Amino acid sequence: MVHPTLEALQQQVVEHLRLIYPEEDHEALAQRLIHAVGAEGHCVMARPRSEPWDQRDLIVITYGDSLRREGERPLHTLKRFVDHYLSHVATGIHILPFFPYSSDDGFAVIDYAQVNPSLGEWADIRDIAEETRLMADLVINHCSSRSRWFEQFKADEAPGRDYFITADPDEDYHQVVRPRTSELLKPVTTAAGERHVWCTFSHDQVDLNFANPQVLVEMVRIIQLYLSQGVSIFRLDAVAFLWKEAGTSCLNLPQTHEIVRLLRTLVSFYDPRILLITETNIPNRENLAYFGNGNEAHAIYNFSLPPLLLHTMLTGDCNALKLWQMSMPPAQMGTTYLNFIASHDGIGLRPVEGLLEEKQIADIATTMEAFGGRISWRSLGEGGLRPYEINIALYDAMKGTLQGPDQYQQARFLCAHAIMLSLEGLPAIYLHSLLATENDLDKVANTGNNRSINRHCWDADALEAHLVDVKSHHHQVFVGLCQLARLRQDQAAFHPSATQFVLHLGDELFGVWRQSQRRDQSIFAVANVTDQVQTLRLSSLNLIGTQNWWDLLSGDDYPDLHGDIELAPYQSVWLTNRSRETAT
């Protein structure tokens, strides 16, 4: 593919801007955006390999201070841990917002241009980026009420006075979709009198006004700063809420999609290896729209996977998971799913609207509360509340079934990850899942924030003591997950874009057939999702009779293709036709 010239880039940007800002001087604004991203003086002419990921890739998600050691900057502690424990597992690290902030554990950004001094400095960020692909959050929808821009807004001073959305509190906003129960509008005393600002998430997180093109220019400048510090993957936080328009839901509006396309055009010119990932915790069909026509997000968070996989493990019934996977379109070349089952946030429930019945969702919520979890709620436009997300450490979420706790917590936890790692897409594992961290109820009590339950801060020395103790569940889970991840790295059939077919093996066995892009390797990944022994009949799989088949996980050979495999509760098999020499 020929790299576009600056002239061609200018025209592409102008076309985006015509759809976003019909009344603006598109040529002049395009030049400002191109200058803001630094495109005139920097573009990588070499194209990446056909796709910027393969089966070796795995992202670990963490806060900058999830690990602490006295007398050491947390980002330095994190780098030491990554170098020592994760270099053979992870090819990317997603450090959650590492900027000065006022609330929401980083997602109310005070200053986009600084590293939080309590974590470290830009040099620490660059050090991490030198060793691994660094993913960072572009908190694009809102900023802190303590930011310089909002202080300017209150003082009625440029440029911040025009950076935020103001609205009439007497208007009707019942159509607006929101993930929170707080009032949408916040009254603020300013030098120009009382004004009401738009707050989708909290009153400390004030929505930016992208109807003002200068806000877009500012955000592109921030992207350029992060690029200069080594960031190569951008997570567009809460991007679905970006554009507001009276009389609409203010969610997934056409201008929002066009802004994502514009950002992709700009960063792809700067360096085609840069990736944009949209974080849109919304129903499945709406989430898929952020692929566009292969011209929006490079990857989208696969938000339906965590609640569906949790439902599967709690019920021993994979039917809903199977039907959803069967209905999912293969990602176009150059795009992929970001698969995850735990993160710094809770397990979202909006993505299973229409995929699970209300009683099934209620059963999950009730069981998670019994396992120590919390439920966060959202307001409905017509009044009332609905569960928005489950807040719980994933290890504790797997301690039992709908019938209660049992002895299969660890097996169930590893089984869930074996399924996730086998699916089409790019896998991401939350650090606290790798470490089998349990609910942090003390932190919830201290912060009053349900999400704190899964945001524990480890003493690094204490953690390392657990990781070398073979009797510790932290050690056992960490070793088990690392083994799964390393096995996956060597299998061409687990390339994020390799062909996937969902298998029909009943409700107790979930399975997919993955086939490498060169069709020289097949893997039949099958998991027993129940607490009972289940029989897998090999004759129900498309095993080619002229080839030898063996299980990557156990090492067992299966020469009799008409035989059976007895799968223990929550046991997985990855049956492959590649020789042991080429598969390891």
- Rounded to an integer, what distance in angstroms lies between the CA atom of residue 458 and that of residue 258? 41
Q: Which residues of 279-316 are buried (b: 16+ CB within 10 A; e: fewer)?
A: bbbbbbeebbbbbbeeebbbbbbbbbbbbbbbbbbbbb
14 and 30 in contact (C-beta within 8 Å)?
yes
The secondary structure of 518-535 as a DSSP string is TSS-EEEEEEE-SSS-EE
- Rounded to an integer, what distance in angstroms lies between the CA atom of residue 463 and that of residue 58? 22
236 and 278 in contact (C-beta within 8 Å)?
yes
Pairing status of strand 572-576 against strand 275-279: unpaired
- Rounded to an integer, what distance in angstroms lies between the CA atom of residue 494 and that of residue 553? 14
Of these residues, 237, 345, 440, 531, which one is catalytic? 237
Positive or negative, the CA dihedral 322, 326, 327, 333 is positive
The order of strands in the sheet holding 550-551 is 499-502, 509-515, 522-528, 572-576, 550-551
Write phi, then psi, for 339 (nearest 5 degrees).
-90, 130
319 and 305 in contact (C-beta within 8 Å)?
no
SS3 580: helix
- CA neighbor of 432 nearest in space, from 469, 468, 458: 458
Write phi, then psi, for 434 (nearest 5 degrees).
-55, -35
- CA neighbor of 371 nearest in space, from 395, 407, 348: 395
Q: Is residue 237 annotated as part of the catalytic site, yes or no?
A: yes
Give the residue numbers annotated as catalytic, written as ranges.
237
